[in-house]
Structure 1
């Protein structure tokens, strides 16, 4: 079955706005940019460790928790907090990042100039439709499961997924505390996979997701346009190293 909307080329920021205006029906939408249009919507843990993704995440989580506490300025107490902290620092997890901003997703589609010879993708997810299709929708319109708050999410904790690998569930679209400057700047939201790593775009009769194609030739121009809008590495990754890099770029031209 085809996706809800055909894959349309988006060559400029204006194209994206016009296309979203045509496709949006007033519903909540999430966005994800990927530098290669052929990449599926699967989390990093299954890309890096396809043979035992859940078991490997558990091993990584334990090792990370062994060494990280003395380096933290604030205590991390829950398993969810540890999982999101690992994701923040580049450790592979079952989390797949999304953003509530299409322009930020567009940045992630084009920011890596080493992929300027490859068409990119900007994925669009209807998260409420997705959750309702998986019988995970709330009774309040617009409500999402919240990691560490709603009991529904307890089954998606690594230790509990380990215990139910033989009874995998579909991913779920969920919210989490924006406890880091990076997640807040990126308007971060997530799909959390269980033990079934079928690409998200293949689930629920494919009516919850679609993508726009960013032509390779358009990437440099889009990067320049996003820079005019102050969407850059520092605005999405507000850290001292990026502040220093931005200062040098502004002075050196």
Structure 2
């Protein structure tokens, strides 16, 4: 499977209004160009500040779909979801969650590697760049960064959930907000006959979530991949292709900016992962 023909990249003067209007990707040609694209549309005139409204996800291989770990489990995964979560709740220590709600449990389960319908995103375009370039075994493949406008995404959510956001004056859900609105995954899935997606922030379980500026996407249909859902809404997302020949330059500049495993994965595991990659020869 190969990437489709890319949309022509916008000029510098078009960056502020950049919105892809096709299902293709913009292929960058330089470090400076990727910075312009990542921070396009970040000016918010109402507050006079630069505040991007995009969730970012970096992929080391541009061919990877936006599939959840639950989907990658295979088999009858949609039916297995409730069994996975039920047994995680049964065997995990109660003190691993601050509140006994399905949204807290889902967040903790995703964080510790249980297959779930959640998908990891970040507010930070540099964190996404890190994950798109950190795997040196994929350094010879084009990478990609997806960006999804969570404000526009939430405009398509059911009334109950949009009202909850409006009452809080928030742009993104929290686990507490979801707990107040919907008590179970089954009830969440029944809120609309049309599949919808939302973004929510997990509790600050540990420094990894904090340092990665992480949050999750959640679909009302566990069998619908994010890229398939986005295909029907081309104006709320962007996809930037990082050519393989640019990856070493981007990687070295991120390292010099302290955007590394040592920061995103505090502890000896992150330290050794950073050192192994940092000192690997360029072959």
Task: Report the TM-score, using the length of structure 2 for normalisation.
Answer: 0.74
- Alignment correspondent of 2:59: 34
What is the DSSP-based 3-state SS (H/G/I as helix, E as strand, rest coil) of the residue aligned with 1:191? strand
2: CA distance between counterparts of 1:50 and 1:208? 31
1:168 Cα deviation after fit: 6.4
Q: Where in structure 2 are there 5+ consecutive unaligned residues?
A: 1-6, 8-17, 45-51
1:25/1:206 CA distance change after superposition, 3 Å: farther
- Alignment correspondent of 1:63: 87
- Alignment correspondent of 2:185: 158
Among 17, 36, 54, the residue aligned to 1:18: 36
| Greater relative contact order structure (CA < 8 Å, 6+ sep) | 1
Deviations 1:138-179 (A, max 9, x none): 336653222233457526x435458x5995631212223222
1: CA distance between counterparts of 2:110 and 2:69? 9
The answer on 1:171 being equivalent to 2:197 is yes
Aligned length, in residue pairs: 248
Question: Contact conserved, 2:97 with 2:105, CA < 8 A, in 1?
Answer: no
The answer on 1:122 being equivalent to 2:149 is no
Deviations 1:62-105 (A, max 9, x none): 232333318x6776633222211111121111111110100000
1:244/1:123 CA distance change after superposition, 3 Å: closer
Q: CA RMSD in A?
A: 3.4
- Alignment correspondent of 1:219: 247
Question: Contact conserved, 2:57 with 2:121, CA < 8 A, in 1?
Answer: yes
Task: Report the TM-score, using the length of structure 1 for normalisation.
Answer: 0.81
- Alignment correspondent of 2:70: 45
Q: Where in structure 1 are there 5+ consecutive unaligned residues?
A: none
Question: Contact conserved, 2:208 with 2:266, CA < 8 A, in 1?
Answer: yes
